[in-house]
Amino acid sequence: MKKRILSVLTATALAAASFSALAINAAAEEDIVYEGITFAPWTSTTSLPTSGSYYLTGDVSVSAVNNLMQGQKLDLLLNGHSITKTGSNSSSVYNLGNGSVFSLYDNSSEIHYYTPNDGAAATVGSGDSVFYGGYITGAAACFIQLINRGTFNMYGGNIVGMTSKSGSSVSVNGGTFNMYDGAILGCYSSYSGSGGGGVSVMSGGTFNMCGGAIKDNRTKGFNFGGGVFFSSGTFNVSGDVVIRDNKRGGTIENVYFKNGSKLGIGEDGLSANADIGLSPEFGVALPLVLVDGAAGYEDAFVSDYATASLALNQDGQLVMTAEKLATAVYEKESDEDFTSETETDNIASLWTVTVTTGSESITDLRVKVKDTEGKFHGSEDVYDRPVISGGSVVVAVVVNHAAADVAGITTAVNGLDITATTASE
């Protein structure tokens, strides 16, 4: 009798467990609507889709390349899971052919950790560096290989700790990479053909980075562009993008420019949180124009080289110079009242600007004064007598004003703008 009761209880428990498992699986296989897209479940743990709209129901490990053929469209939602490339590192995870479109999404905020490594990909799963949500990792030729007119849209997710043998984590060879969010972190390129630990832009490709971060990536030895290798094509930045802490070998190298390439500013401009490091082509003499349309956004950029500095030229381009051209300090000397019997409130301020040269001689110096409303006052004061390097010159500036206060003074030294600091700083 006791055995029969136990058998009945065991059968009941097994039935309940089976029903519970079925209920969980049924729930897991429901469609998910995210960002206006209906994603169906992808339940395989050893393969990936090449068209349609799917979300991952679990972690996936793949060894073979996935080709998106001409005109194919894929929306993939990581759903907080991981994709790991295993086996040979001579093939990509995805190759995007002519006219194909791959859009990557993630809806998770689960916290993960990684440890950046010099000379190797980051270690995922431990350390103090943090990322959130689903991710792609492993060893491959690259994660995404864009060919001809293929398009990769990254709306979320992370590419972390990937080792690329034949390119970058995202290789843009004639296609278009639109990065709206997400991150490319701690990846490593051992490819000797070009560079780019995170992204490479070549063969007329287009990279529009409108958000997200490219950090802690590495390249081997003389493979240039620890973060981004920009050889040809178009590279635009906008929003609160971050490209920092990337290295070539042990040397900081964030965005590496080659063949005279110039970074552009996207139509939405850069936010105050944007932070981008710049490295000029190895062996090319400075000064060198690196960014077009940079006026108003110059604070978003920093030189990766301690011996070089960045400044605007008269065309609003950001130029890297061999060393800091000059420093400038301004202070107010006095107020003068030029009011006559026929004039009222005609007051001017006398300011002095002391400009001290760096490594180069000053051959042209112009001083521009801006008030708190952003308006320029008075005419530019031109100082065209050469000052040798290591010397200094004091320029007197008379600013006509009624009620405006001086908010800043800019000196254009040899055609490059250098913001002056106040004497009290």
302 and 344 part of one domain: no
294 and 407 part of one domain: no
Q: Tell me whether residue 375 is in a domain.
A: yes
192 and 273 part of one domain: yes
Percent of the chain with pLDDT over 90: 47
- Alpha carbon 272 to chain centroid, angstroms: 14
271 and 405 part of one domain: no
Distance CA 410, CA 353 (A): 10
Pairing, β 392-401 against β 347-357: antiparallel
285 and 409 part of one domain: no
331 and 293 part of one domain: no
pLDDT for the residue 195: 78
Residues facing residue 334 across a β-bridge: 350
Select from 85, 229, 232, 106 the least CA-distant residue to 158: 106
Give me the sheet containing 421-422, strands edge to edge. Answer: 392-401, 347-357, 326-337, 421-422
274 and 365 part of one domain: no
Domain end point (choices 262, 286, 321): 321
Q: Tell me whether residue 5 is in a domain.
A: no
Angle at 274 between CA 269 and CA 277, to 5 degrees: 115
Domain extent at residue 363: 326-422
H or E element at residue 268:
strand 264-270
82 and 213 part of one domain: yes
pLDDT tens for the chain, 425 residues long, are 434 433 433 444 434 444 333 333 434 489 999 999 999 999 999 999 999 999 999 999 998 888 888 889 999 999 999 999 987 666 788 989 889 999 999 999 999 999 999 888 999 999 999 999 999 999 876 778 876 789 999 999 999 999 887 778 899 988 999 999 999 999 998 876 667 899 999 888 999 999 999 999 999 876 788 999 999 999 999 999 999 999 988 889 999 999 899 999 999 999 999 999 999 888 787 889 999 999 999 999 999 987 788 889 889 999 998 766 667 777 776 665 544 444 445 556 677 777 777 666 676 677 767 666 666 654 455 566 666 666 777 776 666 654 446 666 777 776 676 666 776 65
288 and 343 part of one domain: no
238 and 375 part of one domain: no
Cis peptide before 41 (omega within 30 of 0): no
Domain end point (choices 321, 337, 367): 321
Q: Would you say the pTM of this structure is higher than 0.75?
A: yes
pLDDT for the residue 342: 45
Work out how many domains the chain is built from and give that number: 2
292 and 144 part of one domain: yes
| DSSP classification of residue 337 | E
Please list the helix, strand and coil fractions of the chain in percent, rounded to the nearest 5, in that order: 5, 50, 45
pLDDT for the residue 203: 82
Domain end point (choices 321, 339, 363): 321
132 and 182 part of one domain: yes
pLDDT for the residue 407: 66
pLDDT for the residue 168: 85
Q: Tell me whether residue 2 is in a domain.
A: no
